[in-house]
Amino acid sequence: MLRTIAISSVLLPGLVAAQVAGAQSGQTSPPSYPSPWMEGGNGWDDAYAKAQAFVSQLSLLEKVNLTTGVGWEGEQCVGNTGSIPRLNFRGFCMQDSPLGVRFADLVSAFPAGINTAATWSRTLFNARGNAMGSEHRGKGVDVQLGPVSGPLGRVPEGGRNWEGFSPDPVLTGIAMAETIKGIQGAGVIACAKHYILNEQEHFRDKSSTSEASSSNMDDTTMHETYLWPFADAVKAGVGSVMCSYNQINNSYGCQNSYTLNHILKNELDFQGFVMSDWAAQHAGVASALAGLDMTMPGDQGFDSNTSYWGGNLTASILNGTIPQWRLDDMAVRIMSAYFKVGRDSARIPVNFDSWTTNTTGYLHALDPTRDVQVVNQHVNVQDDHAKLIRQIGQRSTVLLKNTNGALPLHMPGSVAVIGEDAHSNPGGPNNCSDRGCDIGTLAMGWGSGTANFPYLVAPVDALRAQAATDNSRFANYSNNYDLKSAQMTAANASVAIVFVNSDSGEGYITVDGNA
């Protein structure tokens, strides 16, 4: 009797949130001003006092430096703020991703958020966060750009659902909180993203010809479903929150005073800082007054050499358009997060470069006018994290149905492994930039939420080795489109194990016609 076992690597949750966003085209987001001052409390008192003392030393320009990125490819990390040379204070280093250190070597590729959530284990949520935080710390990163609760997963084809945890806001909230505790326990600032209602990749951002899509939502659904995990993140003491590309009720996420000032900083009493998603800032004064504290990567468009803040923020303070206290609050919030996680004692120099894998290169990739120097020290930060990764992989496997006792297998006479997803990418696991393809076995989606694999074991290799141990005849077939041959291969075996996957990712990459 032929037993067929289907194994699926799915990076698209098949559930939809119980409450669905409305689509009222005329819905608006009410204004809420002024932006609330940080006041300390709830575990922030010591960090707040240290931040006040630090910021009180700064000039206007130095405060602006803390808030404004130096531009895409301006320094070694994907995001970098200006420095304060007078105090020997290096600018902040922000680095993807929610599953590992992006654009770096000798790092781990941790299981995706959706896999981790499937373990239902607070212990593993926390351990994964702590391991990721320690790897970022070891590379000199100040802020890990994760974890993810936006998208929550309203639409299975949304694109980036796999970066987050679950469409269940309670499960996601617990996973967010434990991950944040783990990351920040390792001495790195966590960044809860993408706030809020960032539920699709199509039309997510403003273009030269059209505005970004607007997620229109009633206040009750916003609070009971989509805000819930961010509330848990704030309760866990998260140091930063990233505002999203999309509009919320027809107001851009990074200049929406209702979601930033009223909900996040007032209702939730968030004490950390709000940073923009990369090029998600669309105005200078409006975003500052609405509660944005840091602009990333700093330029209006990648490599544009123009900024809504920087010199423009300085001018707005001097001419009174933006009050001085708002800039002071930005700087204090940023430095409070720094002190809260102990960056003043855990910080080391950045020892990798996002823009080249070579040992030597230009310190400023966009402006290679200086001498070549060492930019990658190739520091191995993996420790023994492979054991944790394997444990999460085991615990996140879901058995949907075991018909007629097909499992467990016990030394079957013959085994057939069917499907491309069981096999390796012929070019290697990192062959496609930012994992922008679906070739071979699938272990993460595509986009900025990725990291390079140090290795990736294909299921066919492990099954072939086990079959040899069991003296089982072994056959495999990887062509997904020659179903007749696949059927023949399966028919000649006592057990057929069929591998399939469903991939998705971020909108700047198109894979097999899917943006």
* Same domain for 403 and 345: no
Residue 486 sits in a domain whose CATH number is: 3.40.50.1700
H-helix or E-strand containing 389?
Answer: helix 385-395
Q: Determine the pLDDT at residue 408.
A: 93
CB atoms within 10 A of CB 349: 10
Mean pLDDT of the chain: 94
Q: Which of 257, 114, 144, 276 is nearest to 198 (CA)?
A: 276
3 assigned to some structural domain: no
Q: What stretches of 370-470 adopt beta strand conformation (E)?
A: 373-374, 414-418
Number of residues in the chain: 515
Residue 267 sits in a domain whose CATH number is: 3.20.20.300
Phi, psi of 211 (to 5 degrees): -80, 165
* Same domain for 347 and 450: no
* Same domain for 278 and 407: no
The runs of H, that is alpha helices, within 72-218 are 113-117, 122-138, 169-185
Q: What's the average model confidence in pLDDT over 277-287?
A: 97
Point out the residues that are catalytic: 277
Sheet holding 214-215, edge to edge: 214-215, 247-248, 251-252
* Same domain for 148 and 267: yes
How far apart (Å, rounded) are the C-alpha atoms in residues 434 and 265? 34
User: Do 197 and 21 form a contact (C-beta atoms < 8 A)?
Assistant: yes
What is the distance, to the nearest Å, from the Cα of residue 195 to the centroid of all Cα atoms in its chain? 12
228 assigned to some structural domain: yes
368 assigned to some structural domain: no
User: Do 97 and 145 form a contact (C-beta atoms < 8 A)?
Assistant: yes
* Same domain for 406 and 319: no
Instruction: Count the domains in the chain.
Output: 2
pLDDT at 24 over 50: no
* Same domain for 438 and 328: no
Q: Which pLDDT tens digit goes with each residue over 420-457? A: 999 999 999 999 999 999 999 999 999 999 999 999 99
Split at pLDDT 50, 70, 90, the class of 15 is: very low
312 assigned to some structural domain: yes
* Same domain for 404 and 309: no
Token pair 């809020």 is found at 196
How far apart (Å, rounded) are the C-alpha atoms in residues 133 and 303? 29
Q: What's the average model confidence in pLDDT over 65-88?
A: 97
Q: Determine the pLDDT at residue 27.
A: 87
408 assigned to some structural domain: yes
17 assigned to some structural domain: no
Q: What is the CA radius of gyration of the chain?
A: 24
Q: Determine the pLDDT at residue 8.
A: 63
Q: What's the average model confidence in pLDDT over 487-494?
A: 95
* Same domain for 432 and 296: no
What is the distance, to the nearest Å, from the Cα of residue 120 to the centroid of all Cα atoms in its chain? 20
338 assigned to some structural domain: yes
How far apart (Å, rounded) are the C-alpha atoms in residues 180 and 126? 8
How far apart (Å, rounded) are the C-alpha atoms in residues 65 and 91? 8
Q: Which of 446, 378, 464, 398 is nearest to 8 (CA)?
A: 398
Q: Which pLDDT tens digit goes with each residue over 89-109? A: 999 999 999 999 999 999 999
Q: At 43, is the secondary structure helix, strand, or coil?
A: coil
484 assigned to some structural domain: yes
Split at pLDDT 50, 70, 90, the class of 21 is: very low
Q: Which domain holds residue 484?
A: 399-498
Q: Which pLDDT tens digit goes with each residue over 174-197? A: 999 999 999 999 999 999 999 999
Domain ends where: 295, 330, 351? 351
Q: Determine the pLDDT at residue 14.
A: 32
Q: What's the average model confidence in pLDDT over 54-73?
A: 97
Q: Which pLDDT tens digit goes with each residue over 196-250? A: 999 999 999 888 889 999 999 999 999 999 999 999 999 999 999 999 999 999 9
Beta bridge partners, 9, equal 501
pLDDT at 17 over 80: no
* Same domain for 339 and 282: yes
Q: Determine the pLDDT at residue 6.
A: 64
* Same domain for 438 and 338: no
The amino acid present at 205, given as its one-letter code, is D
* Same domain for 283 and 424: no
Say whether pTM exceeds 0.85: yes
Q: Which residues of 357-376 are buried (b: 16+ CB within 10 A; e: fewer)?
A: eeeebbbbbbeeeeeeeebb
Answer whether the bond into residue 196 is a cis peptide, omega within 30°: yes
* Same domain for 84 and 171: yes
pLDDT at 303 over 70: yes
